[in-house]
Amino acid sequence: MKILKHVVMWRFLDEAEGRTKAENMRYCAERLRGLVGVAPTLMKLEIGEDELHSPASYDMCLVCDFVNLEGMLAYRDFPPHKEISAYIGKVTSARVVSDFFIEQ
């Protein structure tokens, strides 16, 4: 069975939207975790903060699993996901994404 992995990494601003970097990271992680069991096509979600803090590091990484590309696109357009995505866009300075299939 193939699984689509959706990987996103962000660099957060030191302060934005009235919150510190740490507060925004915590808030965003909580909101994204809240999509589990709510977003119908989301099979699995893992999110974590960077531990190394090297110059090349991103602050937070999200990994989501979907059955297919259509499921990931439905998640992308799911209103609660769009809402937190818009907020994340206001509190981050950089974002990178990769989507790929693995054999499970």
Q: Give the integer Cα–Cα distance in Å for 16 and 89.
A: 10
Query: Is residue 72 helix, strand or coil?
Result: helix
Q: What is the CATH number of domain 2-99?
A: 3.30.70.100
Burial of 47 (0-12, 13-18, 19+ CB in 10 A): middle
Percent of the chain past pLDDT 90, that is, above it, reads: 99
The pLDDT of residue 31 is above 90: yes
Which pLDDT score, from 0 to 100, does residue 104 have?
87
CB 61, CB 45: distance < 8 Å: no
For the chain, give every domain's residue range: 2-99
